[in-house]
Amino acid sequence: MKIDILTLFPEMFDGVLSASILGRAQASGILSIETHDIRAYADNKHKKTDDYPFGGGAGLVMMAQPIFDCMAAVCGDEQPHRILLTPRGKLLTSERAKELSKLDRIVLLCGHYEGVDERVNTLIDEEISIGDYVLTGGELPAMVLVDCLSRFIPGVLGSEESAEDESHANGLLEYPQYTRPASFRGLDVPEILLNGHHANIAKWRHEQAMEKTREMRPCLLGNFGRVDRAYTKK
Ligand code: ADE
């Protein structure tokens, strides 16, 4: 998959995208991520990319021209799926990330300041928010989206890692996990995980996931049917 990121702050992406699993995915060629500096496309003398909002109000608005020209240069003759990261967008879900992971190419536009000139929306196929709070810009949300969808691209996670057993993969929060030692400073791993009885362990994990979800995110239990089917299948 090819991901192009249009941003005023390309340097923000350096560490995050080159480390760990995303770094490995790029090195192996499964994933190709390129950042593009919107400012380089500003056609004014001072490379200005923002201006005061018509009608007044606080803050500055990102200008249309640098974004239009940057988008045109990045897309060329292709028509990749173009996403604007904005608190006005639809909330990112695991399901949506999984769908996006199937595309060959996406372009992410990071908004900044008080917003983006509304005419930029004529270039955009989808607006995504990562949560009901406002960040200083779309860069961190773009990193979150890239990280989240990459996990669903075949080969990005090693065989030891799984995108299916995690919180949200089946509509519930994840059950508790433990590793060695079985007893640590007086804290013991639940006995049921040590005796190797697969059916009992699966049942215990399901119960724990239900309990955790009920406690932390009761609204998610609306997805319970999906989970129950997944659980009873095996
Ligand atoms: N830009 C600022 N806040 C954001 C959010 N919550 N989601 C996506 N983009 C944003």
Condensed to tens digits (0 to 9), the pLDDT of residues 58-91 reads 999 999 999 999 999 999 999 999 999 999 999 9
Report CA(74)–ligand 1 centroid distance (Å): 22
Same domain? For 74 and 143 the reply is yes
Domain containing 10: what range?
2-150
The mean pLDDT of 26-40, rounded to a whole number, is: 97
Nearest-atom index, ligand 1, CA of 134: 3
Asked if residue 113 and residue 30 are part of one domain, the reply reads: yes
**Ligand 1 pocket residue status of 131, Cβ below 6 Å:** yes
Same domain, 136 and 169: no
pLDDT of residue 165: 66
Residue partners of 82: CB distance under 8 A and separation at least 6:
71, 75, 106, 107, 109, 123, 124, 125, 126
Token pair recorded at residue 109: 């536009």
User: Considering 122, 150, 178, which residue would you say is the last residue of a domain?
Assistant: 150
Is there a domain that residue 88 lies in? yes
115 lines ligand 1 (CB under 6 A): no
Looking at residue 230, its pLDDT comes to 47
Q: What is the mean pLDDT of residues 17-39?
A: 95
**133/181 same-domain check:** no
Same-domain check for residues 144 and 78:
yes
Give the pLDDT score at 227: 46
pLDDT at 212 over 50: yes
Q: What percentage of the chain exceeds 90 in pLDDT? A: 87
- pLDDT confidence of 232, banded at 50, 70, 90? very low
Say yes or no: 73 and 179 in one domain.
Answer: no
141 Cβ closer than 6 Å to some ligand 1 atom: yes
Of the pLDDT bands very low, low, confident and very high (cuts 50, 70, 90), residue 214 is very high
Tell me the per-residue pLDDT of 91-135, one tens digit each, with 9 for 90 and over: 999 999 999 999 999 999 999 878 999 999 999 999 999 999 999
- 131 and 57, same domain (yes or no): yes
Instruction: Give the β-pairing of 183-184 and 187-188.
Output: antiparallel
Q: Which amino acid is at 100?
A: L
Pocket mutation for ligand 1, best pick of 62, 86, 91, 148 (most atoms within 8 Å of C-beta): 86
Question: Which of the listed residues 12, 85, 136 should we mutate to test ligand 1's pocket, taking the one with most ligand atoms within 8 A of CB?
Answer: 85
Cα–Cα distance between 60 and 115 in angstroms, integer? Answer: 7
Nearest-CA residue for ligand 1 atom 4 is 87
Q: Please say if the pLDDT value at position 167 is more than 60.
A: yes
- Tally the domains of the chain: 2
Same domain, 101 and 195: no
